[in-house]
Structure 1
Amino acid sequence: MYDANGREVLANGLNRRIVGYFASWRTGVDGSPSYLVNNIPWNKVSHINYAFAMVDQNTYKITIDTSATSPEIGLTWPNVAGASMDSTLPYKGHFNLLAQYKKQNPGVKIIMSIGGWAGGTGFYTMTTNADGSINTAGINTFADSVVAFLRQYNFFDGVDIDYEHPTTNNQAGNPDDFSISTPRLKGLMTSYNVLLKTLRQKLDTAAATDNKYYMLTIAGSASGWILRGEENLSGLQYLDYASLMSYDLHGAWNQYVGPNAALYDDGNDAELKAGGVYGASQYGGIGYLNTDWAYHYYRGALQSGRINLGLPYYTRGWKGVTGGTNGLWGTTPTVSSTVSCKGIATCGQGATGIDNVWYDLDTSGNPVPGGGNPLWHALNLQNGIVPDYLDAYKVTDKTITGTYVPNYNSTLVAPWLWNATKQVFISTETEQSIQTKAQYIVDRGIGGAMIWELAGDYAWNASMNGGKGEYYMGNTLTTDIYNAFTAAAPYGNKKAETTLPTTSAAVGIILDQWPMGDNNYPITPKMEITNNSTQTIPGGSTVEFDYPVSTPATMADQSGFGLTNTTAGYTGPNNIGGFKNNYNHAKFSIPTWQTIAPGQTVTVALNYYLPISGPSNYVVTIGGNKYILQQENPDATVGYK
């Protein structure tokens, strides 16, 4: 599973991960194009995330569809080559095929992803009681059920928690869940961290019995707004890795037209401008709706190799776009409808019809406008091809009106299609953008890429559309990523970028006492320093640490400890084109008149303006000797105990 240097052993000659989500609902039974287990490029991926299992909101256990028509264990595809059932297995469906292909590709890890946008309701009740307290019994019940599930379907190698979202911000997750999530907000992050810790412990206990390592991963938010309500994500310490949902950074849930998954900020983000972000001095000019910002947020707590960047194989789009440059950073009219806006009061004017073939349904059973399409459909639009699958997606108007002109912004690393006739903007990905993002991952020692979802990748199919040809499902982009990652050096396996002491101190440091997300501005947690040793820590001892450049190097304390920023990894005036460093560095001293007795805790009130994970790489100086923290370095020799 892991080599002597702490790096994950990857299949198919890869030096970085390629984690591909497989969406269970693309079965073809409704006549729409299918994407089955045999379509996965097994020789080009390292991990497959199966989407999704859910949490039963009453029993608190992991659950899948067990009916006769279950995609997981019920369906069959008798006329599809490569999708025959193994009759010796006690289940059919995707699981039967996964078990077969796992035998052929034992190095590829298969992870059960739990939750998703539409399947996360049970997380709220399982983790958190209605009064906001931790549902300890629910968490233990869930974790035990996960272990039982992995033993029952033993081709799985672990679980991926796709909880959207445990943030304490009001109305940040699926609007369908607001009645359940809202009363629980104050406890969501505390219980989330307990969930991850409990899962890690129970999976490790099971691993020792089963002689099989079980992975624990998450799909983590990349939105600066959501992350403000996710505190400092202290539960990251329990993961094998975090895959960032570094997409959906702009979409038709509001009127601001921008890229789905820009790599960098360009200083012109219409949503951030409308919010006054660029002009607010406390933000330091930092634009935070981009992949580079999200990566640096997580880098505060994780080595680069334990982070995967999300890449979307799908589009987002608007219609009625005015302003901007070929639609980019323009706006659309707002729409007031809790039905078509999927549960929120207002939204932007999302693309529809032929520009929206991968859609959710509203409460009336109609497509939610959003410009969601697989990338192969976007290429057909770009090339003026009326594809032969439109009936399967219930598109009634099959006319291609106007021209979908490809555009590319190299500062953002963002492609899009602009149809001036229809005023339609569709944010896409291309080989140019994907190759650039893959090289970004390689150059920074990042662990790899996560793909949502594999079925959106494309190839040219000359035999379709009556032999005229069209773009359809394929592996073009995944192959580009594979080529970059097999040629890459091993990923980064060190959190710190400076030489740290080799002995540790029995001192614990956590960030706690968080305000609720909507009130968490500026961000003002308490840093609690606990002396877990048997010796008194004298006044004048110092604490220093790294924190990520996702916030300016202006962190301050409000407790008289004299916190200073000794290294500014971010100096501004903006982060256009990406951050150049990973960390800021801060230091403070325990007042000379104060000591910390064994078992005692002192508190430092912090103040900063954009979210961080961590801090990390703590060094405490006691009596002139420097120590790392035992909590961060449990294998180090304890020098102060």
Structure 2
Amino acid sequence: MQTPTLPRWRHRSAAIVTGFALVASIGITTQVAYASPSGTTTTKACATPWAPASSYSSNAVVSHQSVNYSAKWWTQNNVPGSDPWGPWTSQGTCGTVTDPTPTPTPTPTPTAVPTTTPTAVPTATPTTPPPTTPAAGTPWTSNPDEKCRPDGLYQTPGVNVPYCSVYDEAGRELLPNGLEQRVIGYFTSWRTGENGAPRYLASDIPWKKLSHINYAFAHIDKNNKVSVGAETPGNAATDLTWPGVAGAEMDPTLPYKGHLNQLKKFKKENPGVKTLVSVGGWAETGGYFAADGTRVGDGGFYTLTESQAKIDTFSDSAVEFIRKYGFSGVDIDYEYATSNSKAGNPDDFAISEPRRAVLFENYMKLMKTLREKLDKASVADGTYYQLTVAAPASGWLLRGMEAHQVVKYLDFVNMMSYDLHGAWNNFVGGNAALFDDGKDPELAAGGVYNAYKGIGYLNSDWAYHYFRGAMPAGRINLGVPFYTRGWTNVQGGTNGLYGSSVLADQNKCAPGTGPKAGGNSKCGDGAGGIDNLWHDSDPMGGELAAGANPIWHVLNLQKGVVGDYAASYGSPTGALKGTYTRHFDNVTKNEWWWNDTTKTFLSGDADQAIQAKADYVADKGLGGVMIWELAGDYEYNASKGQYEMGSTLVNRIHSTLSASKPYGATKANVKMPTKAIDLGVELKNFALGDNNYPINPEAHFTNNSKTTIPAGATITFDSATSDTGEMKEQSGWSITKDSSDHTGSNVGGLKGDFHTYTIKVPAGGIAPGATVSTKLAWTLPTSMISNFRVSIGSEQYALLTDYPRGVSVVEPSAGTGGGNGAGPVESCNGAVTWSAAAVYTGGAVVAHAGSSYKAKWWTQGEVPGSGAANAWGSPILCGK
């Protein structure tokens, strides 16, 4: 298979354009409906067309210009879609919508599959499945392996998932090689030794020092299935061989060759090490590489997730793929399902930009489907299959990913806590700072420090605390780069750090960067030539200058050695100009190399940064470390006098994480109630892109129990310290901040995990089956609010929405929750007595004059039943 000429080698976590647009003054973008590719036609009905003269109440649905909208509150003469802060919320396109013809969803029996591999997921579920909604007073589930399920992990209804094959009874993963925390390495398909370049094969992986290996990358083929292009002769994944290379001999019992043969062979020898297939990546999120090495930009994840039929096809094929090739699970590297414009690969913008409004919603559907199908396959095969993601760490990208509601479906998150600075702009900073120091020039230029109480969001510690808001520490892994990024012609800074580097001709900026990308951003002067060994190429084969080098190469530069491999990468082989000195900052833990002669700055993680991060992971109880990529690690070849590919940094990480304490396995830092009620919580209707400031979603509470949750009951929850701790409530429920684990700037790191808030259930309570909502507002991105505790009278309950461990399901008590002046509970369908002084929101239920009524929208002082056009719905007689 030819070497692709387009960028594919890296993850990328930061935006390709300057990403400091968290400040409100950036401007307003219009919500855009999207057009699907040509194919079969389906129809989603349009609601009644919007009319300027008509008045609309809360939850009314209209259509306008082929988009359905629902009303957030009473409105008249406000054009749907014209005001992102206005009363209308998009419900997606309507009318005629075209979808590519989906492939059939049944999974065919793979050809040439070892006889021990099951060929289909049995349709029958276990004989004693847990009920979808457990009866009151019963355990959360009857699954005997529930004791091993990680805290907060989604449980597929009706399936007895074999969690104990992978997790212990504390919900911690069973790890090999003496590790207490994960060491995950990405192994890439393209370091094959082609053109004489150094090769990195499965035999080079330090299997005795790792817990997981992610194979990068598979892609989505034209039939919406997981593929590695296996039908292509010479394919590195399934056909290539390396005769005469010790350790690279093929396993003759397998019907395929290549990397996948090698991975399965070594996994047999190291059964505790898990292997996952990673699907996507920077270059293959929106397309894939054809047999001739050209990129087919057919939409990838962006179009796959447009229909459930295609999602089902993909998910079924993922199960088939991991069974066929012996993988332990699936890793999704979708870059990126964010509503922020101009994020991800510029080659995909024609496809990704028109779909921004629905990308995250569709991403949630994909992850839920994958989780459920992998769980069912786990039951059928008697072994648990993992689902993970590579997630961005930049606050700019995360702000467009709502509250990252997908985390409940994931065994763990691998944070791409690198590429936080790069030559896509002129601000010279560290590739992967662990901490903020209050001096990041990109954040300062955007006014971020002034806007957010000194909190900077381009560092690993901030990203960890973002995800910590919704996950145990042990389900979060810190990403580290075994490579550099850098600039040349750097002006100012301290040995280049925090200087500036502007490409002289801004008409020659890389695609998606500089003035042509929009805004006021200038692209940087990326380091090239010998300072850019692992460079990407443009479609014409030209070098994209980015200062991209494996750690072993930059150590050779530091030593004054060009390396005998330079010519194989197309890099200069002449004498080096100037000298490269290594530097390390004790606050940020940035590590970099500076050439004062050429004014070249290269930043990546070597010994000092890796040790600091391994210590951080051990001390904070994170799940572990994720490495992009293993081939960047080094060892010294004394006979050649140069550094080469090795495992020195992996050995350092293993040494630290095998001597650490077990990782943190609980979501909450307080003792949670052992009784739980079924009160669902959803955050919905986030604004899009740059309009998502302040972050201002609706919080919907749905009572799935049989008992009213009374007015005055309190709901306490935690939110991540990635935000400033100033959450507001905007619908009259009232909110108080009970405590805060961190205040002030995050110089040197955030000091704790949570801000804790309490809101009060409004008048009317939450009747059985009812949904009531309020609006919350905060500023910096946080993941899903969690660790809910509901207090009713003297009783306190956990919520099933948190997927807690070790709880029994009960009905809420009949207490009044402390009261709020709305009067006593009336014996009328479980409702409270209406009060003229009380404020009621949509969905609230009250009792009045022998009947109960449900509020249609916000109201105060309107007597239930007093008029057909008022805020109250039709009466229901008491006892009905």
Which secondary structure does the structure 2 equivalent of 1:376 belong to?
helix
CA distance in 2: counterparts of 1:357 and 1:342, whole angstroms:
20
* Mapping for residues 440-519 of structure 1, pairs under 5 Å: 440-464=616-640, 469-519=641-691
- 2: distance between equivalents of 1:127 and 1:85? 33
What are the superposed Cα offsets for residues 372-409 of structure 1, whole Å, 9 maximum, x if unpaired? 00001110111111211111111135221011111111
* Partner in structure 1 of residue 445 of structure 2: 274
Q: 1:76–1:92: 8 Å Cα contact kept in structure 2?
A: yes
Which residue is equivalent to 1:301? 470
For the residue of structure 2 that corresponds to 1:121, the secondary structure is coil
With over 3 angstroms needed to count, the CA separation of the structure-2 counterparts of 1:336 and 1:584, relative to structure 1, is farther
**Cα 1:534–1:126, aligned 2, differ >3 Å: closer, same or farther?**
farther
Within-5 A mapping of 1:283-302: 283-302=452-471
What percentage of residue pairs aligned between the two structures are identical?
50
Aligned partner (choices 734, 748, 766) of residue 577 of structure 1: 748
Aligned equivalents of 2:707 and 2:430: distance in 1? 55
In 1: Cα distance, 2:330 partner to 2:483 partner: 24
How many angstroms does 1:17 deviate by? 0.4
| Distance (Å, rounded) in 2 between the aligned partners of 1:631 and 1:428 | 40
Q: In structure 2, what residue type is equivalent to 1:477?
A: L
User: Counterparts in 2 of 1:297-446, with a 5 A limit?
Assistant: 297-334=466-503, 341-344=510-513, 345=516, 347-396=523-572, 398-446=574-622
> In the TM superposition, what whole-angstrom CA distance separates every residue of 1:588-617 from its partner, at most 9, and x where no partner exists?
1122x3322111111111111110012110
Structure 1 counterpart of 2:713, from 541, 544, 569:
541
| Alignment equivalent of 1:178, drawn from 341, 349, 358 | 349
TM-score by length of 1: 0.96
Answer yes or no: is 1:109 the counterpart of 2:274.
yes
The equivalent position to 2:802 in structure 1, one of 607, 632, 635, is: 632
Distance 2:484 2:225 in 1: 34
The alignment status of 1:28 with 2:204, answered yes or no, reads no
Q: Which residues of structure 1 form unaligned runs of 5+?
A: none
Relative to structure 2, which stretch is displaced further, 493-502 or 369-378? 493-502
1:538 Cα shift? 1.4
Task: Provide the rounded CA distance (Å) in 2 between the counterparts of 1:347 and 1:363.
Answer: 19
User: 1:65 — aligned with what?
Assistant: 229
The answer to whether the aligner puts 1:42 opposite 2:207 as a matched pair is yes
Q: Which residue does the alignment assign to 1:138?
A: 310
Offset at residue 333 of structure 1 (A): 1.1
Larger Cα-atom Rg: 2
Q: Is the Cα contact below 8 Å between 1:269 and 1:329 reproduced in 2?
A: yes
CA distance in structure 2 between the aligned counterparts of 1:339 and 1:119, rounded to whole angstroms: 25
Match of 2:88? none
Residues 122/542 of structure 1: CA separation in 2 closer, same or farther (3 Å cut)? farther
Where does residue 780 of structure 2 map in the other structure?
Answer: 610
Letter in 2 for 1:305: G
Where 2:448 maps in the other structure, the secondary structure is coil
So what's the TM-score if we normalise by structure 2? Answer: 0.70
Note if 1:189 corresponds to 2:360.
yes
| SS of the residue 2:593 aligns to | strand
The one-letter amino acid paired with 1:459 is: E
Letter in 2 for 1:299: R
Cα distance, 1:622 vs structure 2: 2.2
Shift of 1:245: 0.3
Partner-residue secondary structure (3-state), 1:53: strand
* Structure-2 residue corresponding to 1:239: 410
Note if 1:81 corresponds to 2:257.
Answer: no
Q: Does the residue aligned with 2:450 lie in a helix, a strand or coil?
A: coil
Q: Which residue of 2 aligns with 1:9?
A: 174
- For the aligned residue pairs, the C-alpha RMSD in angstroms reads 1.6
Letter in structure 1 aligned against 2:616: Y
Q: What are the Cα deviations for residues 21-80 of structure 1, in whole angstroms up to 9, with x where unaligned?
A: 001100012221100110000110010000000012x42111112211111011110021
Residue 431 of structure 1 and its aligned partner are, at CA, apart by: 1.2
Aligned-partner Cα distance in 2 for 1:632–1:600: 19
Contact 1:504 / 1:633 at 8 angstroms: preserved in 2?
A: no
Alpha-carbon distance between aligned partners in 2 of 1:129 and 1:11, rounded to the nearest angstrom: 38
Secondary structure of 1:392's aligned partner: helix
Name the CA distance, whole Å, in 2 between partners of 1:575 and 1:6: 31
Q: How does 1:516-595 map to 2 (within 5 A)?
A: 516-572=688-744, 574-591=745-762, 593-595=763-765
State the secondary structure of the residue aligned to 1:311.
strand
TM-superposed CA distance for 1:623, in Å, is 3.5
Aligned position for 2:184: 19
Distance in 1, matches of 2:690 and 2:794, equals 42
What is the letter of the counterpart of residue 547 of structure 2? G
- For 1:72, give the aligned amino acid: A
Distance 2:357 2:767 in 1: 32
In structure 1, distance between residues paired with 2:567 and 2:300: 41
Classify 1:126/1:528 alpha carbon distance in 2 versus 1 (closer, same or farther; 3 Å).
Answer: farther
Residue 159 (structure 2) aligns with: none
- 2:850 is matched with none
Q: Which letter maps to 2:374?
A: L
Task: List runs of 5+ in structure 2 lacking aligned partners.
Answer: 1-165, 289-297, 517-521, 813-880
